[in-house]
């Protein structure tokens, strides 16, 4: 598993470490190749390749497996959490904590000494129309209220971002795609220091808020084209129409997902290019390019 592919699971690991509340100062990750681990500095993540704790080793720390294979032949004074990949606790090996299987595979030999073995049983997913409609309405109510408030109190912000969407969609899309991906990677790797986990989580939440801001702007643009006199009410109606269109796009295989990503990227870039609507975006022009 490459570093880029492992980002979603690394985010989960960082959240689990943060919620655990332990005194963690260092986190190490292996992405590929074969590695023999004699010691663990607080937390070690296996994202690919094969990582083993030799029979002669006594390592103290927690092990997270999100890809590849982990083999424990010696003693591990800590917990093992499997999010993906495989873990094997060999005959004669010792894990003082819990081997927790969330996903992937875990094999514990009969002769191994393990504090506890826990298997997560996910709830059976349901495709109830009531749940889907409820989730849609909850999202609409939140975005609709924020959009209504912005349209009443700060319509210029929505107009400025909307101008970047309509007049500079290509630039906004490129900037949005690059910025979203770069910031995501930055926040994940920043969290490897453990100390900066709160900053990393705040950054990820900020990215989500930018995406939602972009959706409100799209709703505002749609609302301006509806035969509704009041801008705030039109914005709310436009947000509903936009969210419904996004839901319908999700039903189209492949192309629908591409279209959804394109909308997110354009909105993300427009918000950043206009400094959240505080400054009108005009791309730089090359001197002498106009007659």
144-192 per-position pLDDT tens digit:
999 999 999 999 999 999 999 999 999 999 999 999 888 887 887 776 6
In a domain, 180, yes or no: yes
Q: Give CA 48 to chain center in angstroms.
A: 20
In a domain, 283, yes or no: no
pLDDT at 288 (0 to 100): 58
pLDDT at 28 (0 to 100): 82
- % of residues, the chain, pLDDT over 70: 88
pLDDT at residue 291 above 60?
no
* Pairing of β 34-36 and β 42-46: unpaired
Q: What is the pLDDT of residues 28-74, one digit of tens each?
A: 888 888 888 888 877 888 888 899 999 988 888 889 998 889 999 99
Is there a single domain that holds both residue 87 and residue 145?
A: no
pLDDT at residue 290 above 60?
no
Count of beta carbons in the 10 Å neighbourhood of residue 233: 15
The CA–CA distances, whole Å, from 154 to 223, 268, 276, 279 equal: 16, 19, 12, 13
pLDDT at 125 (0 to 100): 56
Q: What is the pLDDT of residues 166-176, one digit of tens each?
A: 999 999 999 99
In a domain, 290, yes or no: no
pLDDT at 289 (0 to 100): 54
pLDDT at residue 120 above 90?
no
Q: Which domain holds residue 264?
A: 129-273
Interval 260-277 mean pLDDT: 95
In a domain, 291, yes or no: no
Is there a single domain that holds both residue 260 and residue 162?
A: yes
Is there a single domain that holds both residue 259 and residue 235?
A: yes
In a domain, 284, yes or no: no
From the list 9, 14, 3, 10, the residue with the least C-alpha distance to 198 is: 14
pLDDT at 113 (0 to 100): 92
Q: Which residue, 96, 119, 142, sits at the end of a domain?
A: 119
Q: How many domains are there within the chain?
A: 2
Q: Which residue, 119, 152, 186, sits at the end of a domain?
A: 119
In a domain, 286, yes or no: no
From the list 160, 276, 144, 273, the residue with the least C-alpha distance to 210 is: 276
Q: Which residue, 119, 146, 168, sits at the end of a domain?
A: 119
Q: What is the spatial distance between Cα 29 and Cα 13, in angstroms, rounded to a whole number?
A: 11
Is there a single domain that holds both residue 135 and residue 250?
A: yes
């Amino acid at each position: 598993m490459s570093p880029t592919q492992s980002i979603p699971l690394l985010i989960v690991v960082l959240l689990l470490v943060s919620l655990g509340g332990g005194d963690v100062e260092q986190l190490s990750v292996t992405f590929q190749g074969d590695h023999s681990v004699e010691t663990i500095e607080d937390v070690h993540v296996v994202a690919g390749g094969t990582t083993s704790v030799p029979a002669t080793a006594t390592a103290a720390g927690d092990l997270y497996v999100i890809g590849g294979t982990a083999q424990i032949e010696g003693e591990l004074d800590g917990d093992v959490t499997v999010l993906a990949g495989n873990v094997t606790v060999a005959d004669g090996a010792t894990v003082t904590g819990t081997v927790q299987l969330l996903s992937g595979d875990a094999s514990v030999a009969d002769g191994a000494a393990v504090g506890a073995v826990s298997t997560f049983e996910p709830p059976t997913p349901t495709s109830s129309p009531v749940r889907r409609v409820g989730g849609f309405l909850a999202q609409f109510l939140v975005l609709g209220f924020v959009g209504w408030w912005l349209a009443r109190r700060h319509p210029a912000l929505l107009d400025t971002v909307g101008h970047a969407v309509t007049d500079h969609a290509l630039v906004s899309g490129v900037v949005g795609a690059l910025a979203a991906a770069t910031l995501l990677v930055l926040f994940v790797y920043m969290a490897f220091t453990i100390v900066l986990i709160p900053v990393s989580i705040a950054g990820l939440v900020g990215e989500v808020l930018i995406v939602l801001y972009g959706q409100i702007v799209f709703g505002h643009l749609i609302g301006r084209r509806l035969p509704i006199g009041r801008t705030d009410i039109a914005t709310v109606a436009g947000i509903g129409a936009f969210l419904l269109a996004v839901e319908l796009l999700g039903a189209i295989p492949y192309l629908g997902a591409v279209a959804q990503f394109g909308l997110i990227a354009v909105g993300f870039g427009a918000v950043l290019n206009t400094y959240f609507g505080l400054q009108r975006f005009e791309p730089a022009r090359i001197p002498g390019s106009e007659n």
